[in-house]
Amino acid sequence: MNLWTTVTLALSRLVAARTRSLLTMLGVIIGVAALLALTSIASGATSSITGSFSSLGATTVTVTGTGPGALTEADADALRGTPDVTLVATTASGRGDVAFGGDTEQLALVGVDAAYEAVQKPALSVGRFLPSFPGGAEASTVVLSTSAANALHITAAEVGQPVTVDGRVFTLVGVLDDATGFNTSGTAYVPLTAARDLFARTPYVSSVLLAATDTAAVAGVQADADAILRARYGLTADDPASFSITNPASVISTIGTVQSLLSLLLGGIASISVLVGGIGIMNIMLVSVRERTREIGVRRAIGARRGQILTQFLVEAVVLSVAGGLIGIVVGIGLSALVALIAGWALAISPVTVLLAVLFSVLVGVVFGVVPARTAARLQVVDALRFE
């Protein structure tokens, strides 16, 4: 009996006992589906997060004060001399009550200077960003993130209406598109001059944004900015500083490392389910050997060799495992697509992961099918024929 005939026979037995076969494969189905879905969700989430960070500007280096009064406008002026820097923007952050109509929300308040829009390039859902050179009435303008506008029940038609920020009346000139990743929490942006009146004491700033000439210059700008600030405060390279310097590239790299470790961990957990499924296959195959002992005896009596018996049962175990793996792949892709649709990110299924799932299913079938197959092949002809 050739291999194809053996596979066909195994498939016919699988179909003949559909319910039993499905229950036998269930562990492998769950394991493979979990393996595929978890790694896909981890990849999709990471892609979404890295996309958000990338949208903040791949050439932007951010200097953030780690305590009150850590950064000043004089520090920002000193950083303007950093090589390969084209623009420098400053921000001041706080919190305050923002009211519109009958709704009031406590939001993060961010005061930004004239260079901020050119550095960060925020995407707008409706309206415009803050004026580059605020003066007069323009000094009392505000831009809200989408989530903040939704919390205050503000629609696109209400851009241009008055909004109260900590008791002061501002004109709403735009709403950001949070979907770009620029902002995902309730935030109100006001000109830095207005922020000085509301919550930001002169001359302190919360962060300084440096726009590098290109991505290749980012690492150098980060190192130069660190050296300039340490020199200003008399700090050595090993001294703790009251500021931190980051750029999207370094954050994305860190996220990628975390994602790799997370995928490895989740894959390991899901693999345990596949192994449990393999044990289930071995158990059922051992029961099958006992149930078919007389059949094995008859086949041996009419000339079947031990190797043929071993191959038949081994192939049946592999067919069960691979069939479970293929069903698990379909279920896993379906779950991944559903989560991606709900979360709003792209479906991330790696062909390598699918291939590994198939190979793992084959391996499980071989490893856990050996014992039942050897048990069947070692049966004595006389004992098998006399078995009731």
Query: Which of 175, 209, 241 lies at the terminal end of a domain, its last residue?
Result: 241
Do 262 and 367 lie in a common domain?
yes
Q: What is the predicted pLDDT for the residue at 201?
A: 87
Give tens-digit pLDDT for 147-158: 999 999 999 999
Give the lowest-confidence range in 8-12, 105-109, 173-177, 240-244. 8-12
Q: For residue 41, is pLDDT > 70?
A: yes
CA–CA gap between residue 24 and residue 13 (Å, rounded): 13
Q: What number of other Cβ atoms are within 10 A of residue 291's Cβ? A: 9
Q: What is the rounded average pLDDT of the residues 105-127? A: 91
Give the lowest-confidence range in 1-5, 15-19, 302-306, 321-325. 1-5
CA–CA gap between residue 291 and residue 313 (Å, rounded): 13
Residue 191 near residue 134, CB atoms below 8 Å: yes
* Exposure on the CB side of residue 119, measured as CA atoms within 13 A: 21
Do 348 and 231 lie in a common domain?
no
Q: Is residue 294 part of a domain?
A: yes
Q: Is residue 380 part of a domain?
A: yes
The contacts of residue 255 (CB under 8 Å, 6+ apart) are 46, 49, 50, 53
Q: What is the predicted pLDDT for the residue at 268?
A: 77
Containing structural domain, residue 352: 3-51+253-386
Q: pLDDT above 70 covers what percent of the chain?
A: 90
CA–CA gap between residue 17 and residue 292 (Å, rounded): 14
| C-alpha pair distances (Å), 119 with each of 175, 208, 215 | 18, 11, 14
| C-alpha pair distances (Å), 224 with each of 54, 212, 218, 221, 232 | 22, 11, 10, 5, 12
Residue with tokens 């018996």: 309
Give tens-digit pLDDT for 296-332: 777 778 777 777 778 788 888 888 888 888 999 999 9
Q: What is the 3-state secondary structure (H, E, C) of 150-210?
A: HHCCCCHHHCCCEEEECCEEEEEEEEECHHHCCCCCCEEEEEHHHHHHHCCCCCEECEEEE
Confidence of residue 64 (pLDDT cuts 50, 70, 90): very high
Q: Is residue 246 part of a domain?
A: no
Do 41 and 76 lie in a common domain?
no
For the chain, the domain total comes to 2
